[in-house]
Amino acid sequence: MSIVDNLMAGLTLVGNLENFLALAIGVAVGVVCGAIPGMSATMAVALTLPFTFSMQPITGILLLLGVYKGGIFGGSIPAILIKTPGTPASSATVLDGYPMAEKGEAGRALGMALWASCTADLISNLSLILFAGWLASFALSFRPPEFFTLILFSLTIIAGVSGASLLRGALSALLGLLLATIGLDLIYGTNRFTFGDPNLMGGLNFIAVLIGLFAIPEILSMVWDPRSQDGSTRSLGRNWVSFADYRKSFKSIVRGSLIGVLLGSIPGIGAAPSAFLSYSEARRKSKDKENFGKGEVEGVAAAEAGNNGVAGATLIPLLALGVPGDVITAIIVGAFMIHGLQPGPMMFVTNVNIIYGLFVGLIVSSVFLFFIGSAAIRGFRLVADIPRGVLFPAVLILCIYGVYAVNNNVFDVGVMFAMGWVGYLMMRFDVPAAPFLIAFILGPLLEDNFRQAMLMSGGSPEIFFSSPITWFFWLLTAITVTAILRAGIKAATNSRKVETKAAD
């Protein structure tokens, strides 16, 4: 059968009220859960899984996929309104989304986040349908050396989010790399920097670090100087994004979507690195790069395109190879297993109608995401009208609840407050938080893949130059570092010229 015939068969399977209702409810649940700090898309999918046991296979899986899609977008709402990423994937959205909200453009930022999310989601879904086989074979070519060079290249993002001082950005990143080493050594199983505390054996909880780094400093700032926080949070300004904004950001949205598709098809990378890489590339190629980090709508678009581009692509290794692309798809594998389905190449032979039914459902989910996301924006935007004296204590309660709910561990709440003080000091001394977060995410991946590659080669570094993929990422890293150095030299030269003219 041709792909058109298969899609028609899938539409016949999916095209009933029960499936569409499950998909719509899933997207709505995902958006709400994603908008609650600490309630990540992963947690939302895990909590929804038991409800699928009595459903038809296609209905239950579509419900979970709807929660997944909605959760990724929902995290952008608190990231923009209250500088608290609802999910790790929305961390990069804070960089320009919250400054836009402070300037009275929260509605514009939320609108762009929705448009970018839906566009990237559609591109990701189409890539899944058209290129699943090719992208799955590409993902199979990644071994530890390829992963290491990819992550090394991704770390060059730090220069793009370091603000005015690359040195402060580098110090922030080094602190993130240091704290990422806490816990069990995954190669030898030994404890590192745990100081005998079993709570640290699993490392610092990422949700606790994320919320502590971005949300708690805002609350501490209000406590430190309450008079500066009187009144309402901010004006939303116009409540929708213009076509001119979308047209200006379209290239960044497409680029971010493709970055998300490529990284999403590689098991284990995740949405947060994709969002930061998309943001960095948008800043590097933008004519208004100086505005990034100060409230640039293109920055919001790039971040949301990067994280939503991953959503459909993570299903590529799952459906084509039977290998989950990330933690969420690993949970979705459970739904397949419960209904007697085994993801992988044979599923395209034995249950091809379900495969293409999922493809059709994913396309429909992009439509539901737009309308449900629009309604969510109109509802959650009321948060901006709440006085800060009421809003921030409520946010603090949500943060504590969200962090505690991840592992039911009070220790994680303590980590959140400790990171909150670190984040507050970084804010007071103009040390950017984004490089810390990027290094904290990518550090363990960098170290583990480096050590695995060295074990594979018997200690020979030649393994890092053993394939075309490694050479490709070494080349990209060299080009990016050269561009960063040139930009730094140019900025220093211009600064000296300005100082000389002022002295004259």
120 pLDDT band, cuts 50/70/90, is very high
Is 161 a residue whose pLDDT tops 70?
no
Average pLDDT for residues 309-320, to the nearest whole number?
Answer: 82
Is 26 a residue whose pLDDT tops 90?
yes
Query: Residue 183, SS3?
Result: strand
What is the number of other CB atoms lying within 10 angstroms of the CB of residue 104?
Answer: 15
What is the number of other CB atoms lying within 10 angstroms of the CB of residue 447?
Answer: 18
Average pLDDT for residues 43-68, to the nearest whole number?
Answer: 85
Average pLDDT for residues 380-387, to the nearest whole number?
Answer: 65
Average pLDDT for residues 320-344, to the nearest whole number?
Answer: 76
Is 277 a residue whose pLDDT tops 60?
yes
254 pLDDT band, cuts 50/70/90, is very high
Are 77 and 106 in contact by the 8 Å Cβ rule? The answer is no
For the record, the structure tokens of 223 come out as: 């406590």
Rounded Cα distance, 451 and 112, in Å: 41
What is the number of other CB atoms lying within 10 angstroms of the CB of residue 92?
Answer: 35
Is 25 a residue whose pLDDT tops 90?
yes
Is 230 a residue whose pLDDT tops 50?
no
Is 231 a residue whose pLDDT tops 70?
no
pLDDT in tens, 172-211: 889 988 998 898 887 777 888 888 888 888 888 877 887 8
What is the 3 state secondary structure string of 105-156? CHHHHHHHHHHHHHHHHHHHHHHHHHHHHHHHHHHHCCCHHHHHHHHHHHCC
What does the pLDDT read at residue 355? Answer: 84
The torsion angle over the Cα atoms of residues 242, 112, 80 and 168, rounded to 10 degrees, is -100
Helix axes 206-214, 434-457, angle to 10 degrees: 150
Using CB atoms within 10 Å of the CB of residue 114, give its burial: 0 to 12 exposed, 13 to 18 middle, 19+ buried: buried
For the record, the structure tokens of 472 come out as: 């490709």
What does the pLDDT read at residue 21? Answer: 93
What does the pLDDT read at residue 38? Answer: 62
Q: Among 419-433, 467-481, 490-504, which is the least confidently predicted range?
A: 490-504
| 61 or 230, greater pLDDT | 61
For residue 41, the Cα-to-chain-centroid distance in whole angstroms is 11
| 84 or 301, greater pLDDT | 301
Are 44 and 328 in contact by the 8 Å Cβ rule? The answer is no
Is 141 a residue whose pLDDT tops 50?
yes
- CA geometry: angle 250, 256, 262, nearest 5 deg: 140
Are 134 and 261 in contact by the 8 Å Cβ rule? The answer is no
**Identity of residue 387:** P
Rounded Cα distance, 233 and 128, in Å: 41
Average pLDDT for residues 355-376, to the nearest whole number?
Answer: 88
Alpha helices in 408-433 (DSSP H): 410-428
Mean pLDDT in the chain?
82
What is the DSSP code string of 329-391?
HHHHHHHHHHTT---STTHHHHSHHHHHHHHHHHHHHHHHHHHHHHHHHHHHGGGGGSBHHHH
Q: Which stretch, 206-210, 294-298, 494-498, has highest mean pLDDT?
A: 294-298
258 pLDDT band, cuts 50/70/90, is very high
pTM for the full model?
Answer: 0.76
What does the pLDDT read at residue 395? Answer: 76
What does the pLDDT read at residue 164? Answer: 64
What does the pLDDT read at residue 295? Answer: 84
| 1 or 146, greater pLDDT | 146
Q: Which stretch, 83-92, 232-241, 294-303, 490-499, has highest mean pLDDT?
A: 294-303
For the record, the structure tokens of 162 come out as: 């370091």
Is 24 a residue whose pLDDT tops 90?
yes
- Among candidate residues 358, 369, 352, the one with its CA nearest the CA of residue 315: 358
222 pLDDT band, cuts 50/70/90, is confident
| 357 or 226, greater pLDDT | 357
Is 232 a residue whose pLDDT tops 70?
no
* DSSP letter assigned to residue 318: H
For residue 313, the Cα-to-chain-centroid distance in whole angstroms is 14
Average pLDDT for residues 423-442, to the nearest whole number?
Answer: 83
Average pLDDT for residues 52-56, to the nearest whole number?
Answer: 84
Rounded Cα distance, 260 and 329, in Å: 15
For the record, the structure tokens of 312 come out as: 């459909």
Q: Among 34-38, 141-145, 413-417, which is the least confidently predicted range?
A: 34-38
Pairing label, strands 191-192, 183-184: antiparallel
Average pLDDT for residues 139-143, to the nearest whole number?
Answer: 77
Count of alpha carbons within 13 angstroms of residue 47, beta-carbon side: 15
Is 104 a residue whose pLDDT tops 90?
no
